Amino acid sequence: MHEFRFDPVSLPESAGALREEVRAFVARQVAEGRFEPRVNSWGSRDPEFSRACGRQGYIGMCWPRQYGGHERSALERYVVIEELLAGGAPVGAHWVADRQSGNQILRHGSERARRLILPRIVAGECYFSIGMSEPDSGSDLAAVRTRATKVEGGWSISGSKVWTSGAHTSHYLIALARTAPLEEDRHAGMTQFIVDMASPGITTRPIYNLYGGHDFNEVIFDDCVVEDDMVLGGVGAGWRMVTGELAFERSGPDRFMSTFQLLLESLRQIGPRPDDHAAAEIGRLIAHLATLRRMSTSIAGQLDRGGNPAVEAALVKDIGTGLEREIPEVFRRLLGVEPSLGDSPAYPENLGMTILRSPSFTIRGGTREILRGMIARGLGLR
Amino acid sequence: MSTLDAIFVETIDRLCEDQAGRELREGAEQGRWPAGLWAAFRDVGLTRCLLPEDEGGAGLDLEAAMRALRRCAMHAVPLPLAESMIASRLLQAAGIDVPDAVLAVGAADTQGQVPRVAWGEQAGFLVVVESGPKGEALALYEGAPRVVSRARNLAGEPRPTLATDAMRCVARQALTDASELLMRYGALARSVQMAGALERALQLSLQYANERVQFGRPIGKFQAVQHLLAQQASHAAAASAACDAALDASAGHPDPFLVAVAKARVSEAAGQGADIAHQVHGAMGFTREHSLHNVTRRLYAWRDEYGNEVWWQRWIGRRVSAQGADALWPMLTAL
């Protein structure tokens, strides 16, 4: 059996000053009217804010200087992103590029890809989408059918991707495609490609979501050619790379703080003297939040030391997204406010939008059921 | 884990495997004091582990003592080890010498009775938090208490209600925050014990799921059971993390907020983790014969001692609300 490790971690000495700096930056941006703190802020795309983050040095923090990075530790980055999320800042435009795509390019990309792309990500000017899911391949990622065929100087990609968040505004998409026919080993023969969204042969169509928003898309590739040096890692190494980034994707504060702004708003609605029932409900959420933050920072510490705590990350995401979904439910019941859309006071609308966003929390980035399967594998059960 | 921790863990494992069998546990529930086991723990310094070595203790800091206690809970040791630690801490805070004996601890109610004193009849001394018109005080009593009632908790651990009128008061000192300290150390100890019991319950569930064959395969191969066990593992991991947070920050004096978080979080996990363990074990886990009940009944009991999860949730909720929404995040990040 895998022993789950959530070793204690101490934030570096620089963390305190860095935290104050980010807090002041967020407060200034709010005071200047550049954004209003919001729920699910890492799903909110605001290129202007991303460029401001880039100027502050808050993107690509752990990457080498030669690619524009700031060579800070993973724990320093953790402090920055948790402060941005706690402040409800619209970090969505650069989020995926900073959290995982850039890391993949740094670790597995060609020198040209690194030089071309990483400095622009760091500047807050270059955004990424994740091209994994397909119409017949959701949780079962090994079922991807998008094909990449070798052509002179590169690969030609054909097929379609769905639920591709931000594809309509992203500059690049990392596509997982089959480069060899399906064999007995379902995980073999898959490769990741850095696809320039401006290339010919790509059609992006909106898929409107539950609340009528345009976040995700269908992306169709029709003989879209990608150069050889935009292959990530080796040909056939796709599966290993996709699973290798899961700990980065699943353990961060974005997996338990999506509805933190609603928690704060609800505390303001209830006021300084809650009754017994409200106090208990609030206290329960805070106890969960404090514990999750502890577990999540522990994973950041392990990543910092070069570990790959993918199972622990799955565990944090399972509990964390559960908490994100409970927050609107708890306050809906406590406050007896009718959630509302459109022309209504701020709180009912905030609550309403949070409820309508909630179902996605336990689906995106690996469903709860897939996560529990991973945890079970970690326990030695499969 | 430090070397010292590892040595104590090894010692505890050995003592429990050699001496804390089924018969001893059943006997303890019938009121037979496990004197031999207590003596064995005393010999290695675990009954006075927070005291310096020249006072017959093990010289452990609070964190190491709690890790030893966690290990004892994994074995469901039927001894008042937690109570000795809580009592020692209170006596030290009040400046009263800690007797080398079995210690019990409780808070007197308005009638002067001390309700639900863990192992109160077996102890040689009773440490009592008393409140009077001049504030709170800590008193140390010696002798046989008058037994008002002989209740036990769900794990069969003695929790009698006692009166001190037939006892001799050997020391009394004013201690302004005595009842708060009692709740804080009590909650921390029970949280740590529950984290240990949850770990053991998970081990037992995994073992059973891998061994029990139905429909031609171990039940652990069924997705429904796997998901139950994944959730049980999450409860155990969250409980441990909450305790670690409270212990790391303690430096000998546990942070009140982190102890509140730990007791609230772990008490919630305790019931849910125990429920899953039973579901996985089926009828076998519902027997007295299988050892699962040693940890699950303790989980069902300990979650309600020193404030259940709702008590501590309210404690947290009131503080957070009083400070206001804007103070919440700075407070959480300063922990």
**Residue B271 belongs to a domain with what CATH number?**
1.20.140.10
Q: Taking a contact as any Cβ pair under 8 Å apart, which residues of chain A between 5 and 44 contact chain B?
A: 6, 8, 19
Alpha-carbon distance values, A290 to A257, A294, B70 (Å): 11, 6, 21
In order, the DSSP letters of B255-274 are: -HHHHHHHHHHHHHHHHHHH
Q: Are residues B207 and B311 in the same domain?
A: yes
Using N-to-C axis directions, what is the helix angle for B35-43 and B3-19, rounded to 10°? Answer: 160
Mean pLDDT taken over chain A:
95
Total domains in chain A come to 3
Is B261 close to A287, i.e. CB distance below 8 A? yes
Q: Are residues B252 and B312 in the same domain?
A: yes
Place B132 in a pLDDT band, splitting at 50, 70 and 90. confident
Place B1 in a pLDDT band, splitting at 50, 70 and 90. low
Residues of B in contact with A251 (CB under 8 A): none
Cα–Cα distance for residue pair B202/B204, rounded to 1 Å:
5
Is residue A360 within 8 A of residue A296, CB to CB? The reply is no
The pLDDT value recorded for residue A342 is 86
- B56: domain CATH number is 1.10.540.10
Q: Are residues A275 and A222 in the same domain?
A: no
The pLDDT value recorded for residue A293 is 97
**Cβ neighbours of A233 (radius 10 Å):** 16
Summarize the confidence of residues A309-333 as an average pLDDT.
96
Partner A contacted by B5 (CB < 8 A): no
Summarize the confidence of residues A276-304 as an average pLDDT.
96
Q: Are residues B192 and B210 in the same domain?
A: yes
Mean pLDDT taken over chain B:
95
A77-98: buried (b, 16+ CB within 10 Å) or exposed (e) per residue? bbbbbbbbbbbbbbbbbbbbbb
Place B262 in a pLDDT band, splitting at 50, 70 and 90. very high
pLDDT of A282 above 80: yes
Total domains in chain B come to 2
Q: Given A108, A126, A144, which residue is the final one in a domain?
A: A126
Place A247 in a pLDDT band, splitting at 50, 70 and 90. confident
Q: Are residues B116 and B220 in the same domain?
A: no
Is B313 close to A284, i.e. CB distance below 8 A? yes
- Give the lowest-confidence range in A109-118, A240-249, B213-222: A240-249
Domain that holds residue A343: 245-378
Q: Is B133 left (phi over 0), alpha (psi -120 to 50) or beta?
A: alpha
Is A66 part of a structural domain of the chain?
yes
Q: Given A93, A109, A126, which residue is the final one in a domain?
A: A126
> What whole-number percentage of chain A has pLDDT above 90?
87
Domain that holds residue B264: 179-334
Q: Are residues A206 and A148 in the same domain?
A: yes
Name which of B191, B208, B221, B314 to mutate to probe chain A: the one with the most chain A Cβ atoms within 10 A of its Cβ: B314
Q: Are residues B59 and B73 in the same domain?
A: yes
Largest Cα span, chain A: 71
Is A207 part of a structural domain of the chain?
yes
The pLDDT value recorded for residue A245 is 81
> What whole-number percentage of chain A has pLDDT above 70?
99
Residues of B in contact with A274 (CB under 8 A): 317-318, 321
> What whole-number percentage of chain B has pLDDT above 90?
90
Give the neighbor-by-neighbor strand order of the sheet with B135-142.
Answer: B103-107, B125-132, B135-142, B168-174
Q: Would you state the structure tokens that stand for residue B39, as one six-digit string?
A: 């003596």
Cα–Cα distance for residue pair A22/A45, rounded to 1 Å:
19
- Taking the whole predicted model, whether its pTM rises above 0.90 is answered as yes
Minimal-distance CA residue of chain B relative to A260: B329
Q: Given A238, A266, A292, which residue is the final one in a domain?
A: A238
Partner B contacted by A76 (CB < 8 A): no
- Name which residue leads in pLDDT, A183 or B102: B102
The pLDDT value recorded for residue B53 is 86
Q: Are residues B18 and B133 in the same domain?
A: yes
Beta bridge partners of B107: B129
Cα–Cα distance for residue pair B327/A293, rounded to 1 Å:
17
pLDDT of A2 above 70: no
The pLDDT value recorded for residue B5 is 79
Q: Are residues A200 and A299 in the same domain?
A: no
pLDDT of B220 above 90: yes
Q: Is B112 left (phi over 0), alpha (psi -120 to 50) or beta?
A: left
First to last CA, chain A: 11
- Residue-wise pLDDT for B293-325, tens only, equals 999 999 999 999 999 999 999 999 999 999 999
pLDDT of B130 above 70: yes
Tell me, what amino acid is at B10?
E
Cα B253 to chain center, whole Å? Answer: 17
- Residue-wise pLDDT for A47-89, tens only, equals 999 999 999 999 999 999 999 999 999 999 999 999 999 999 9
Q: Are residues A258 and A232 in the same domain?
A: no
Q: Taking a contact as any Cβ pair under 8 Å apart, which residues of chain B between 183 and 242 contact chain A?
A: 206, 209-210, 220-221, 223, 225-227, 229-231, 233-234, 237-238, 240-242
User: ipTM beyond 0.90?
Assistant: yes
